[in-house]
């Protein structure tokens, strides 16, 4: 059996496979890529704020 065909039991009636997990992940990333530009820029600013808090770097957080 191939690694990607391995079944994963999540709960009693919920079974998935590694292959399906990868497909869902790829689908999620494509959906994120389709967000409106304005929405992406809002997320970008949140990422900049988070990075600033974590890393404490002197980087400019965008004003939008």
Among 17, 22, 24, 59, binds other proteins (CB under 8 A): 59
C-alpha span between 25 and 20 (Å, rounded):
8
Task: Based on the shown chain and the rule CB under 8 A, indicate whether residue 21 belongs to the binding site for other proteins.
Answer: no
Task: Based on the shown chain and the rule CB under 8 A, indicate whether residue 60 belongs to the binding site for other proteins.
Answer: yes
Six token digits for residue 56: 């404490």
Six token digits for residue 51: 């990075």
The residue count of the chain comes to 64
**Residues found near other proteins in the complex (CB under 8 A):** 26, 29-30, 32-33, 35, 37-38, 40-41, 43-44, 47-48, 51, 59-60, 62-64
């Amino acid at each position: 059996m191939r690694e990607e065909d391995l079944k994963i039991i999540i709960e009693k009636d919920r079974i998935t496979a590694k292959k399906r997990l990868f497909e869902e992940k790829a689908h999620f990333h494509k959906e994120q890529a389709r967000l409106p530009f304005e929405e992406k820029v809002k997320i970008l600013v949140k990422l900049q704020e988070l990075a600033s808090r974590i890393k404490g770097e002197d980087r400019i957080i965008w004003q939008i």
